[in-house]
Amino acid sequence: MRPQASLRRPANQAVRIILVTGMAALSLSLPAPAQERFRRTPPLPDSQRLELKLPPVEMFSLPNGLTVATARRPGSSLVTLQLVVRAGEADSPPDRPGLASVTAQMIGKGTKMLSADYLENWIESLGGQFSAAVFMDYTVLTLTVLDEALDRAIYVLRLMTLGATFSEHELAAVRRIAYWQLYQSKKDPEVLAWRQLLSVLFAGHPYRAATYNEDVIKYITARDVADFYGRFYRPGNAAILVSGNIDGAAVAQRVGSHFGAWTGPSSERIVPPPPPTNDRARICFVEAPESAAATVFAGNLIMGSSGRDFFPFLVLKQILGGTARSRLFMNLRESKGYATYAFAEMEVFDSCGVYWVRALVRPESTVPAVREILGEIAALASVPAAPAEIEEAKSYLVGSLPLRFESSLGFSEWMARYVALGLGQSQWDKGPEELRLVSAEQVGEAARRYFSATPVVVIIGRPEWLGAYLGDLDAVEVYDTGGKLRTILHKGGGR
Amino acid sequence: MNKTARAFVFLALILLPIPAPAGSQESGAAPSSLPFLFQEYRLRNGLRVVLSEDARLPLVTVAVGYGAGTLREKPGQEGLAYLMENLMFQGSDNVSPLQHIAFIQKVGGELNATTTADKALFYETLPSNQLALALWLESDRMKSLVITPAAIGRTREELLGEYGERVAADPYLETFSEFDSLLFPDQLYGHPVIGPRMKDLLEGDVVDFHRTYYVPNNAVLCIVGNIDPGRTRDLVAKYFDSIPPGQDIPSPPQPVFRRENDVVEGHIRIPSESAGFHMGFRFFPLQAGDAYCLRILEYVLLEGETSRLKARLLRRDLTARYLTGTLDERPSIAAIKLFCLATNAVMVARSEKAILAEIEKLRSNAVSLEELDRARLRFKMDYFDRLSTNLGKARFLVDAHFAGKRLDELGGELAAVINIGPQALAAFSAKYFIPQNRVVLEFGPQ
């Protein structure tokens, strides 16, 4: 039996129900309330101009040639300590690709007095995180700690870098991990495409050293590592970077007290001249049997990190494929339905740079997608971009620039690049001003200069797609996932 | 008190900000030992608002969380919360489909959304002089989202298509959802955020779900960055105050967990040559302080190369190529989840055995102070790292809100974790690391 109380509604509740019902009935008889006017159109931005103010990078030079660079980031509880060495993948000898990377991985794997385990325990007992990253022209060893552990972190970094030893035992472990990572990376179609693109664009050039696969790792010996270390890990070829809530001058002094005794002649690293731009139609197909969709890259060479076209080209790349609003995405995905995504990227090195389009394409749409990509690149070279399009690209770039400096990691990565490549203030916090000054003429000039030449096309996909979907292409170079040329297919099925 | 006076007091109460504890450095600012200050208040329609100022960069993050996660799905509605999240980009009265993304990207912003058990979260980081744009966009879809059968069909088709592509590209992907269904046998937690049943959802399901849960009184708006708090309050009032509240929101359903009699084990075949396993430990019902123990245990076991499990499997025994793990904290239950790729099929069993041996050590021997200090420092570093960006702070605050925490007490959490001692860890381990809480899912080549 239902409790009596539940059968009765309190009087005030009954009244409320009547009121609500009445109001509901009333509202049904009235026209919908007019929308507030401010909701109809997007609001204008606040009038104040956006200013990107980064802490200045203070540079100090020690008598031994070592550069110390500091940047104060108030409010940060983390301090990032980096050793930048001006030698990267491009500096590995032609017969020892991957040596720069293996050498960096060996830092922290033991000194004369301390084992790898001891050093690793020590770093982690500081709460620290240590990592090594090798780029085309430089290497960055990064130790991040809480600010309270900075002094000890400087000491540890000194011990493990200046006192590094390279035992066969530790090298075997590093080789094993590197082998596995490189082997696994071949399952990523974008990694395969990137390697293939670089190997074509940089054939015969030192930068091709960055395109190695796991097979070469086993040939690297402890002697090779020691030689590379001896040649490039020198104070005159290195810099110590510290960023965090620090007193730059005081920290530089402490760094000096630890690294001032580091000796060694200056290294004469030669920046290689850029190779010639690709100027003929080349389509490379890398057979990846597990592909679910076709990955398409198309790219060519551009200016280096200090090139005068740097900012105009940024705008150009943005117009081509910076976001989902850009030409490639709107054409290949939204209009034609060929692709899941299509974007444009660029990476600049010391000597030159590379731009590339990357797209994930339905296998049956590969050929038309490639044609559309090449068409969009050529169109920018031949027809100037509209002023509104240029202004929108600039607006995006100016607005997004501060994002890369938000995290400690982002800030320190950019600072390392800035110091390693000796970039000017325009690539520190003057980027927005430089971008605002980019003119339509400069964008057009950059387009003609870099988009007139025929890009190299790389397609990653299943072998059976060659016959099924790519028969219309004039000539296709077919490679395996290790980068080895297997055959060249011609239109009509000829080899 | 007469009715008029009572009504006045009531109105004043709902218009006033939630009072800040004593010691505020500014009016409405909540003092705490968090590395940042914030203000918290609520609009008349129930929308909770949190503001935090950080003037270091010309950026602002706007995050809107709705209590509309997968926990709100009824049986047969699996995938509804995720579908709804994506429909939020399909247009509202004044914003065309996908134009929300376009507006944000046009000014150089970044945006994303995510659905978890407890919430759907939408966020964008953009230049701080464009704050009004983000508020305009978020308020428009909160007030007047347009849901059409065509949009539902198109979005569902895209989501299922992209999910199919991800499954085809990642042989391990489906093992994760399979493992979750073993680890969380309750229907509420045991189903994935997306799956083939999404295609069976009806338009009415979507409309009801939206009408019930995508309302201001079930949402939190968090704004962090280079803002003027006074002007930001004005903008929030302008764009959100007139959005009508929804009906009262029922409390989320409480999953019911049953302890098994022994270890739960499973095995599935995958299209890959690798062999490995998932292993998980469930912790329920959690008592006060247990969550702090778990956070330290996660670091003792898994964070850093010298953590117990990584050192043992990847460095000493060499039975595994890859090992990762995470602490999955959900309302009323938590789990430590491990994912291991063994060096070969034979090493699967050896890796599992080694993990259990390390767990047994935790149960029988106190963690040394040195090891504990290392875990504490790593935890502290990750904690500060997480809070170093506007988005990190916003997500921290929104997560805490939906976890039912008082935001003005968050500052004490770091100290509570750091203060966990060896005895508390040993007691926790002895209580929870038992076979009945363990789940293992092995996978190998077909």
Fold match between domain B31-240 and domain B264-445: yes
Whether A70 and A165 map to the same domain: the answer is: yes
At A87 the pLDDT is 95
Question: What is the number of structural domains in chain A?
Answer: 2
- For tokens 């509604």, the residue is A9
Task: Over range A354-379, report the average pLDDT.
Answer: 97
Angle at B430 between CA B425 and CA B433, to 5 degrees: 100
Residues in chain B, how many?
446
Residues A255, A116 within the same domain: yes
H/E stretch holding B351: helix B346-364
- From chain A, pick out residues whose CB is under 8 angstroms from the CB of B102: 324-325
Domain boundary among A225, A259, A293: A259
Closest C-alpha among B432, B384, B422 to residue B300: B422
**Digitized pLDDT (tens) for each residue of chain B, 446 residues in all:** 343 333 333 333 333 333 333 333 333 333 347 889 999 999 999 999 999 999 999 999 999 999 999 999 998 899 999 999 999 999 999 999 989 999 999 999 999 999 999 999 999 999 999 999 999 999 999 999 999 999 999 999 989 988 888 888 788 999 999 999 999 878 788 888 888 888 889 999 999 999 999 999 999 999 999 999 999 999 999 999 999 999 999 988 888 888 788 899 999 999 888 899 999 999 988 888 899 999 999 999 999 888 999 999 998 999 999 999 999 998 788 999 999 999 999 999 999 999 999 999 999 999 999 999 999 999 999 999 999 999 999 999 999 999 999 898 898 899 999 999 999 999 999 999 999 999 999 999 97
pLDDT at residue A495, as a whole number: 62
Residue A119 Cα to chain centre, angstroms: 29
Question: Do A348 and A452 have their domain in common?
Answer: yes
CATH top-level class of B264-445? alpha beta
Residue A22 is predicted with a pLDDT of 39
Which candidate from A77, A398, A406 shows the least CB-CB separation from B57? Answer: A406
- Whether B304 sits inside 8 A of A41 (CB atoms) is no
Q: Which of B129, B377, B384 sits opposite A45 (nearest CB)?
A: B129
Strand-pairing partners, residue B110, are B125
Topology of domain B31-240, CATH? Cytochrome Bc1 Complex; Chain A, domain 1 (3.30.830)
Determine, yes or no, domain membership for A419.
no
- Gap between the terminal Cα atoms of chain A: 89
Supply B410's token pair.
């968050």
Q: Which residue type sits at B344?
A: N
Least confident of A234-248, A406-420, A424-438, B211-225: A424-438
Chain A, residues 208-227, CB within 8 A of chain B, namely: none
Q: What is the pLDDT of residue B171?
A: 87
In this structure, is residue A420 part of a structural domain?
no
Domain containing A302: what range?
A: 282-401+442-490
Mean pLDDT along residues A416-431: 89
Q: Which residues, in sequence order, are CB contacts of B180 under 8 Å at separation 6+?
A: B189, B190, B192
pLDDT tens for each residue of B51-77: 999 999 999 999 999 999 999 999 889
Nearest CA-CA partner of B373 in A153, A145, A127, A119: A127
Three-state SS at B89 = coil
Query: What pLDDT sits at residue A6?
Result: 32
ipTM: 0.85
pLDDT digits (tens, 9 = 90+) for B361-386: 999 999 999 999 999 999 999 999 99
Instruction: Check pLDDT > 90 for residue A322.
Output: yes
Quick check: B108 and A77 CB within 8 A? Answer: no
Which of A244, A259, A274 is at the close of a domain? Answer: A259
Q: From chain A, pick out residues whose CB is under 8 angstroms from the CB of B57.
A: 52, 402, 405-406
- pLDDT at residue number B167: 86
Neighbours of B32 (CB within 10 A): 18
| Chain B closest-CA separation from residue A130 CA (Å) | 10
| pLDDT confidence of residue B399 | 96
Please check whether residue A145 touches B, CB under 8 A. Answer: yes
Is the backbone peptide bond immediately before B285 cis, with ω within 30 degrees of 0? yes
The helix/strand/coil state of B374 is helix
Same domain, A227 and A96: yes
User: Residue A33: its pLDDT value, please?
Assistant: 59
Residue A241: strand pairing partners = A69, A82
Quote the pLDDT of residue B18: 37
Residues A393 and A246 in one domain: no
Residue A407 domain-assigned?
no
Residue A200: its pLDDT value, please? 96
Specify the CATH number for the domain of residue A448: 3.30.830.10
Q: Judge whether A85 lies within some domain.
A: yes
DSSP state of B315: I
A89 and A188 assigned to the same domain: yes
The predicted model gives A272-286 an average pLDDT of: 94
**Portion of chain A with pLDDT greater than 90, in percent:** 79
Judging by beta carbons within 10 Å of its beta carbon (0-12, 13-18, 19+), is residue B9 exposed, middle or buried?
exposed
A362 and A480 in a single domain? The answer is yes
User: To probe the interface with A, which of B52, B53, B59 has the most A CB atoms within 10 Å?
Assistant: B59
The domain locations on chain B are: 31-240, 264-445
Q: Are residues A226 and A319 in the same domain?
A: no
Q: What distance in Å separates the CA atoms of residue B42 and residue B66, rounded to the nearest whole number?
A: 15
A101-128: pLDDT as tens digits: 999 999 999 999 999 999 999 999 999 9
Residue A341 has pLDDT above 50, yes or no: yes
User: Looking at the complex, does the CB of residue A395 fall below 8 Å from at least one CB of chain B?
Assistant: yes
CA torsion, ordered B51, B52, B55, B57, to nearest 10 deg = -90
CA distance A228 to A220: 11
The confidence band for A4, taking pLDDT boundaries of 50, 70 and 90, is very low
* Whole-prediction pTM: 0.88
pLDDT of residue B315: 87
Collapsing DSSP states into helix, strand and coil, what is residue B254?
coil
Q: With the CA atoms of B210, B213, B215 and B218 taken in that order, what torsion angle do they form, in degrees rounded to the nearest 10?
A: -160
The most confident of the ranges A28-32, A299-303, B72-76, B170-174 is: A299-303
- Return the bridge partners of B324, or none: B339
pLDDT by residue (tens digit) across A367-419?
999 999 999 999 999 999 999 999 999 999 999 999 999 999 999 999 999 99
Give the pLDDT confidence score for residue A493 in this predicted structure.
Answer: 66
